[in-house]
Structure 1
Amino acid sequence: MDPVAAYDPYHPGSRAVQDHVGVREFADHVGRSIGQGIRPVAAAFLELQPMLVLGAADRTGRVWASLLTGAPGFVRATGPRQISVAGGVREGDPLADTLAAGTPAASSAGVPVGEATGVPVGTIALDPRTRRRMRLNGRARPTPRGFAVEADQVFSNCPKYLQKRDHYEEVPRRAAGAARRSGQLHPEQRKFVEAADTFFLATVHGHGADASHRGGNPGFVRADSPSELSWRDYPGNSMFLTLGNLAADPRAGLLLLDWVTGTTLQLTGTARTDFEPDGGRTVIFTVTEVVETPGASPLRWSAPEYSPANPPLP
């Protein structure tokens, strides 16, 4: 049996973008790498990671991307289709209540979330030391030590646009400070955004969620105003999971990280994709809420070595 016919990883939003760009046949080919099981090499990779990014909608329907950290082994495969995360989401994080409750929010866009139990989540484990990344999407439920995710999609991506950071250290006594919340970006936060070489993007669709990575040379993401960001969508694997989700549901969340101080900047809002006549694409993100948390990560990473795949900035 054709594996694509047996298991199609794409929903109509992704298919629409693939058809618009003209890559459906190639997307079918790379889509064969998406499965539902966690292979031994993936399980071994997870157990080496000190951080995990998770994307989901909160109880009000807003979409966020959140950073989780812990000693290597805090994320591990505990079944052929399940990972367990010790410690859970940091208290005060926008997704903390949602993950603790273990039930999804009603869609603010009027899209049903499906009949399955648990919170639809997307996760991405990214290792700057090896420039490897793994994504696992599924449904989360609380456990006595944190939460577990039953996988619907498991796959890896190539190292394109990942900045290499050789090592990290855990900073003693670093603890998250009080969150600074606002409805738009302050001037220093706009500088934070435009200095970034990496951010994470959470998106949703009718029956699930996804967390992905975006990278480039500093300045690749622009803070065009206190309430709007934009970035070029660089060529990737042609799956168009993220842009497909946005075609179906514009809600999105961004996570930016200061890799030295551990400060995180979480943004929630909506996003749209502008397709240009020359074949280029630009994503426009409109900010609804901003949460800046100093010292949210206890990890201090070494300086980056920028990916040779990063396009030069205009």
Structure 2
Amino acid sequence: MQFELQILGSASATPMTGRHPTAQLLAVGEGRYLIDCGEGTQWRLLEHRRRLSSLRVIFISHLHGDHYFGLFGLLGTLHLQGRQEPLLIVGPPGLDLVLTTQAMHSGVQYGFNLTFVPVDTEAHALVYEDALVRVSTLPMRHRVPCCGYLFEEQPRRDRLVKESLPPGLSPAELAQLAQGHDLPANPATGRPALAHAAVSTPAAPPRRYAFCSDTLYTPALAELVRGADLLYHEATFLEELRERAAQTHHSTAAQAAELACAAGVGLLLIGHFSSRYKQLTAHLAEAQAIFPNTELATEGLVVAV
């Protein structure tokens, strides 16, 4: 089953040519989950031929404009396109008031049910679950209430091995095995008891993606994202501006790598780059010196887990 992340925007507060405000799209099976929605996100989705109608849930990390100003345009377009499927928005308290106020003063009455789930940005807690994923908050330390999100794939069923199945099994018996149950002996056919484990191979471990938004370097996060297959962590500055990073409640590329190393993740993506940096080779070198399996979260990048 697909588990794929696409970077739609990797800039920090000030956009620049070729670098857009934060937005990411996570695809898990048929589910599409938008993570942050900076200005112009709907344009980025269209440019990458991603159907706006496929969005299931939108997760917002905090109420700095570069992380949610694109919501107004996106919701308006969904309305104009005739969306009828419900849409869920998960984010910090206050976002619902902002959206309601904007809709009220622009005279918009959405043609679909829009539900808002407020989160406690200081807690690590389950905030959303469906048949494909479980999503929990990750507390960030920023200038305003802010959280990241941990996406965990729901456990998959073991796969039946066709060559190990005895002949003559009924559809009901096959369904029972597929659901992980053992079969009792069948006196009518003379078939002996059949253990599910004897005719299946274990499913791969659930895949995990951790999105760490704007934050001071927070070593305690390592325990919450330990062993994640993929970690995104902001890297607004280089180490030479470590004090500036602390003053603005951001992190450096080296700090992002230190967290990835401590957490033992599979792959680190760094992003949210300050517009002062026209080239990003120094960010990559700084992070890779600590955590070699690091990539830049550049515009349009697709990472399959």
Aligning the two structures, in what range does the TM-score lie when normalised by the shorter sequence? under 0.3
TM-score under structure 2 normalisation? 0.26
TM-score under structure 1 normalisation? 0.25
Structure with higher helix content = 2
Larger Cα Rg: Structure 1 or Structure 2? 2
